[in-house]
C-alpha cells in the first residue's frame, strides 16, 4: 500500500478519538465543571482537526499547502513544525481550561485570544472589499454577509468566549 491509498480522514478520526478519550478521562478526574469542559471544547476540536497533518507530512514528502488561519506552510518539514505547534498549543488550552488554578485560566485566555485573532485577521482581510458569497451546494449560495457571520460564529466566537470566560474566572479568583 502506498501513501496515496491512505485515507487521512480515518487517521484523523483515530487520533481524535484517542485525544477525546484522554480529555474525557482528565476532565472527569479533575472535577471540572460543565462550563470549563464546554470552554475547552473549541481548543480540543482545533487539535483534533489538525492531528493528521503532522503524520501525513512525516510520511509523505510531497504533502504541501497546510493552512490554519494566519498560519501556513508549504513544505513537509514546515508543515510538521506548524501543525504540531498548533496541536500542542490547542491541547494546552483545552487541558488548562479544565484545570483549576489562576495560571491555567490565564493561559486559556491568552491562547483563546491568539486563536481568535488567528482566524479573525484573515476574515477581515477577505471581507475588506466586501465579503464573498459562500457556495454551499449547487442550489444554495449564502450571501457575503451571512457567510462572514457564519465564519465569525464558528471560527472566532468560540475562542473569544473562552478567553472572556477564562478572564472572568481569573479575576474572580475561582
Q: How far is CA 66 from CA 17, 36, 89, 131, in A?
A: 22, 30, 17, 23
- 3-state class of 2 per DSSP? coil
CA-based end-to-end distance of the chain: 53
Q: What is the pLDDT along the chain (174 residues), one digit of tens a residue?
A: 666 678 889 999 999 999 999 998 888 777 788 899 999 999 999 999 999 999 989 888 888 889 999 999 998 899 999 999 999 999 999 999 999 889 999 999 999 999 999 999 998 888 888 888 888 888 888 888 888 888 888 899 999 999 999 999 988 866
Does residue 81 contact residue 136 with C-beta atoms inside 8 Å? no
pLDDT score of 174: 63
Query: Which is nearest to 93 in space by CA: 129, 133, 39, 131?
Result: 39
- pTM of whole model > 0.85? yes
| CB-count exposure of residue 29 (10 Å: 0-12, 13-18, 19+) | exposed
117's CB contacts (< 8 A; 6+ apart) are: 70
Give dist(CA 20, CA 3) in Å, integer. Answer: 26
- Contact indicator for 106, 166 with CB cutoff of 8 Å: yes
Give the cell for residue 98. Answer: 479544565
Distance (Å, whole) CA 111 – CA 68: 15
Amino acid at each position: 500500500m502506498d501513501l496515496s491509498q491512505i485515507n487521512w480522514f480515518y487517521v484523523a478520526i483515530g487520533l481524535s478519538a484517542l485525544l477525546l478519550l484522554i480529555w474525557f478521562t482528565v476532565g472527569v478526574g479533575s472535577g471540572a465543571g460543565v462550563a470549563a469542559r464546554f470552554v475547552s471544547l473549541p481548543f480540543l476540536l482545533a487539535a483534533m482537526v489538525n492531528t493528521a497533518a503532522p503524520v501525513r507530512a512525516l510520511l509523505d514528502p510531497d504533502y504541501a499547502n497546510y493552512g490554519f488561519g494566519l498560519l501556513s506552510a508549504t513544505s513537509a518539514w514546515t508543515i510538521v513544525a506548524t501543525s504540531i505547534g498548533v496541536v500542542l498549543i490547542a491541547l494546552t488550552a483545552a487541558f488548562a481550561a479544565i484545570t483549576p488554578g489562576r495560571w491555567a485560566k490565564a493561559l486559556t485566555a491568552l491562547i483563546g485570544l491568539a486563536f481568535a485573532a488567528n482566524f479573525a485577521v484573515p476574515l477581515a482581510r477577505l471581507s475588506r472589499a466586501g465579503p464573498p458569497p459562500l457556495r454551499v451546494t449547487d442550489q444554495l449560495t449564502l450571501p457575503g454577509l451571512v457567510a462572514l457571520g457564519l465564519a465569525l460564529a464558528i471560527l472566532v466566537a468560540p475562542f473569544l468566549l473562552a478567553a472572556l470566560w477564562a478572564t472572568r474566572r481569573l479575576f474572580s479568583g475561582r
